[in-house]
Amino acid sequence: MNAAAAVEALTLPVVETFHSLQGEGVHTGRSALFIRLGGCSVGCSWCDTKHSWPVAVHPRRRLDSLTAEVQQAATAGAAFVVITGGEPLEHPLDPLCTTLAAAGLPLHLETSGVGPWSGQFHWITLSPKPHRPPSAEALRRCQELKVVVHDAQDLAFAEAMASAALAQRRSGEPGPALLLQPGWDCPEGQRLAIGFVQAHPGWRLSLQSHKWLGVR
């Protein structure tokens, strides 16, 4: 490995870090440190973090400096770390997870499940996208399946993904928690998601509570 490659292996492009409450999904309302990595080629038209897509514009941060920040956040009350993006799996995440493990907080991943798997996590939220379906590995590993709903096709996709996640598990192994999340500012998505959850008790609603509250 040459010097440039060695430095790159110890760093990742970071859009932002912040300590807030988890706004979405099963862990909504819990104190968390967010690490948003730069880089995503999935290309969702409704993406609310398009600024995270390019890699090169975001400064590369050393993994040990991120670990120090996680340790500070733990002292300040963070219950876990959320690795988000962008699409975190567009980077090899094993060095990050190994380094952050020293801080002692559980690691959560938010991913679309596209691309090769890497890293070790205590909780994986898979938010699959119809135009770039997730890998079998992501479907097998996730504890939480969270599908964004804009139209009726998204409901059919959500059911297909729930079946695919179960199909990837061993007999008797539980499936992921199943959540529908209306697209932001999408009344049709809200209507469809609420109606579906009312009629399907295995599913629950996820709201982007941080956006409703106007916090990060």
47 binds ligand SF4 (CB under 6 A): yes
Look at the chain and count its residues: 216
Among 36, 69, 80, 87, binds ligand SF4 (CB under 6 A): 87
Among 6, 29, 30, 43, binds ligand SF4 (CB under 6 A): 43
Euclidean distance between CA atoms 59 and 214, whole angstroms: 27
Number of CB atoms found within 10 A of residue 168's CB: 17
Window contacting ligand SF4 (CB under 6 A); options: 22-30, 68-76, 82-90, 181-189 = 82-90
Among 13, 23, 25, 86, binds ligand SF4 (CB under 6 A): 86
Pairing between strand 203-205 and 177-182?
parallel
Task: Say if CB 100 and CB 67 are below 8 A apart.
Answer: yes
Q: How far is the CB of 130 from ligand SF4 (least distance, A)?
A: 11
Amino acid residing at 99? T
Among 11, 22, 112, 206, binds ligand SF4 (CB under 6 A): 112
Can you tell me whether residue 194 is helix, strand or coil?
A: helix
> Which residues within the stretch 129-148 sit at the binding site for ligand SF4 (CB under 6 A)?
129
> Which residues within the stretch 22-41 sit at the binding site for ligand SF4 (CB under 6 A)?
40
Euclidean distance between CA atoms 127 and 42, whole angstroms: 12
Q: How far is the CB of 72 from ligand SF4 (least distance, A)?
A: 26
Handedness of CA 110, 114, 119, 125 (dihedral sign): positive
Residues in contact with ligand SF4 by CB under 6 A are: 40, 42-44, 47, 49, 52, 85-87, 112, 129
